[in-house]
Copies of this chain bind each other. A is one copy, B any other.
């Protein structure tokens, strides 16, 4: 395919970036690859709103189905987001024999098995580089660059909004609500920030990466998902005292043939490279059995970075590179969160009385939880002080049971807080 006719559905942030790149880099891409990209149609319900670029007369249309039904269009780019009608657009485009490129992580994580199986049946390609890590070519790296590796673990900062918020909280000592407000003012968080701050967006993305890593079907429903709304400036400060930073990590690893798949605030040693990824930037740490530790860093969102990934997919499809169907048929079991082992950080709100530490550590002992370090500070007029404990590796099930008991102790004045800790055990 030397000349590729492209139709874009959705002329928002990413659609605009994609259109811009197709138009402005046409000569560069042709020189590099021999492939000429033609932007034939762009569909958006709103064809009036002024955008950063103007398209030639007749290119912008209000009806997406005109793109899907246009026999001349080779590749349909779905950039409307959400499940419906994005799913219908994609499936119908495949049925019409068109290749598809999408940035829609929610759709792929939740309905991707159906979409990929239709594509496979039809011998068509679905490019989704832009669905994880924005402009970072992480999908290509995993599918092709590291093709010779069994994947051992992935740790990703794959949501810029929450990383921006946590970075603000860390650097300025402010609370979650203040940091969220700043993120909203700067356009890094949506008016309704739920998908980001509750970890759902990260869960969508790690679902996709886990399927690439281990060949398992897309398993969004089995992904454990916990957001950052309960993280306090106090916990960030205590983490720092122990030499840790708090990041929203999306984690998937394989241990003894079982897969962990989880998103939650995580304490990581501050001298790890990924702990230094700040602001809206994303980074994905990938460990393969041959290559060892690798990391990929860049802008995880935005018009032009995400457009860069979309256009790379279109070029690959034109070259026939993506042509191998994805086979997500491996049958590993995914551990429920209660079954994982981790190190833990606890913050107890304890009455300032003798014997508190002994009572709490007694419960820990009963549940096979071994203490690594303790911070207990000053006296409080109010009578309650924070008691902070780091543990060695323990089972989450044991932790939850211990916490239930501890929270009922008369010396414990408020619901206890815990954060999972990654890194070398000390």
Interface: A81 (CB within 8 A):
no
Q: How many angstroms from the CA of A283 to the CA of B34 in the assembled complex?
A: 30
Of B140, B146, B298, B319, which contacts A324 at CB under 8 A?
A: B319
User: Contact between A137 and B145 (Cβ–Cβ < 8 Å)?
Assistant: yes
User: Contact between B34 and A324 (Cβ–Cβ < 8 Å)?
Assistant: yes
Count A-side interface residues using an 8 Å CB cutoff: 56
Of B144, B309, B312, which contacts A316 at CB under 8 A?
A: B144
Provide the residues of chain B in CB contact with A215, threshold 8 Å: 31-32
Contact with B along A269-300 (1 / 0, CB 8 A): 00001001100010000001111111111110
Q: How far is the CB of A182 from chain B (nearest CB, A)?
A: 21
Q: What would 16 more interface pairs be, CB under 8 Å, given A145-B312, A147-B312, A292-B298? A: A21-B290, A25-B290, A28-B150, A34-B324, A135-B292, A135-B294, A140-B140, A144-B315, A148-B308, A148-B312, A148-B315, A273-B277, A273-B297, A291-B299, A296-B297, A319-B323
Q: Given known contacts A140-B144, A141-B137, A145-B140, is B299 in contact with A292 (CB within 8 Å)?
A: yes
Q: Given known contacts A319-B324, A323-B319, A324-B319, is B308 in contact with A291 (CB within 8 Å)?
A: yes
Q: How far is the CB of A20 from chain B (nearest CB, A)?
A: 8
Q: How far is the CB of A213 from chain B (nearest CB, A)?
A: 11
Q: How far is the CB of A282 from chain B (nearest CB, A)?
A: 10
Interface: A327 (CB within 8 A):
yes
Provide the residues of chain B in CB contact with A129, threshold 8 Å: 145
Interface: A15 (CB within 8 A):
no
Provide the residues of chain B in CB contact with A307, threshold 8 Å: 148, 290
Q: How far is the CB of A141 from chain B (nearest CB, A)?
A: 5
When A and B form their complex, which 3 residue pairs have the shortest distance between CB atoms, in order from nearest? Answer: A137-B145, A294-B298, A135-B291
